[in-house]
Chains A and B, each alone.
Chain A
């Protein structure tokens, strides 16, 4: 085959050549970042619905007779933000080889996240109105529910990392499996701050 006769590669290994590496970004990390961009667009579409109802249709917010429990959700916001801090701590610990702190960090991140979801569900139960009465109710449940679903996905990822942490996986050299789901969790947290700011505060 003419292909091989012009090879100028020095290779003393056999089999196919090494995989190319044309960028310094890690593919898994790049994939996660692109995925997060697509997630942001999903939220963007829900926010479009929100602003459509509130700004374009100039309906009252929330609908007459409905209330939005901004104080409890505020506490919940603090809980979620602290879970980002514990996650950061966990990642820092695994990088510096402190396994105990890593495990505690992962576990507390998971528990804080679960706590957030629990309070959110509780909020739904005591809200006193359903998604079906008005478009305002629909988008309130829509946006917080969309976010809640992301918390759930994030928690699932965190659970896997936590279990692996307790089984002794990951080390100072190998922690990509913590970093990549971690980025997702930070995204979920930041997104919550945006959701909270727009629909509870604004």
Chain B
């Protein structure tokens, strides 16, 4: 059987295609981006004309996927963990409407915050919405879950969450593919009112969701992804979730783990396996990537019953990614610690590329702001966030997509004038537009700088959905065209740009300045590809 050396994200892309998916809907976000990119480049996806264009944000993505499910076809929506915050409204409600065609919500968490603002654990959302969660421990499971998750969704009639973490997303291993399933036909929901969440209907559907929990429990107990592994030393029982299972087995290759282990890759937690472990073992150790979700639910408020070790009692760190070393330590295993890093080794943080247009924008902004007190530039998420670091140190915030504009407005409301927002073109399209409307409606005294590199660069240079539309969006929202300016951020335009910033910072009202020059990485990729 031929094995493909797939990244976890690629395994999911291939699994979804092979599972008969008709559309992937996503907004880029590390570590989820390459799922959609894989599908975009895939020949079967092309031949079947599977929907695979980027959405404006995670909310529009998941809603569109739900629409495709309504029409009977199989759809997947992919996002990074914080993307699910943006899509949370539809996510929770979709559990109540349920699905028609199978719907998988793939969410990639980033413990240790390699490329994120936080390390929230999406399993809480899955539990909150009361839907089944799949958490692969290997690339093969990631493939299988993406492929067969649609059937699970159609069987349970709710969306299914596929939760991965950075390490699995960006690690490669052999995957065996299965037969490619046909796509679903267009079919309407059998109950025409299924998707109408008017209170009277919603109450009924919610009760349905509650009573379905028994089925979800039964499926977890029967799941091929969950199992009880025998062990002779009952002084300890181990619950290992998702990829944490691999870190455990690393220390006990070939079935040599002396302790009984419950491997978890499908939730709700299978009660039979957990109960058996609890009954047989003196103590339990919980290994889970992310927050102590399983640990908390087994521990209970009063910590009665079997002693439980994990992230809450200090056996494992409370935050950050797990690894084989942390698990060795939790098991009391002595290991050679390697060699120390010599003290002369310096940090090498990421930085803006030499020649990046954001640099010119920051240089001009700093000069124009020299006469004002510090702390007036609210920023957002993208390459330009690196303007927080030397040599620029221009910005004072980076919170969530779109918050630059609204925080600048709030600060201006409080009297910090001028307040400035620095936002990228894709972030503006994602979540900046509504905030700008608020500012226009109140004639807020803010300057919004939309640093337009015609690309979603932070995540690798995807197409930006606001491409070619930014001025018309601003005019449409009601920004005075006399206060919308475009400039090419280049050294030779520095003086002009400084002047423009000065002038608009002084203007009492909403102004928009658009420094526009294509991301140099994207430009060179484009040139390479056209060769």
Q: Do A and B bind each other?
A: no
Which positions in B face A, CB cutoff 8 Å?
none
Which positions in A face B, CB cutoff 8 Å?
none
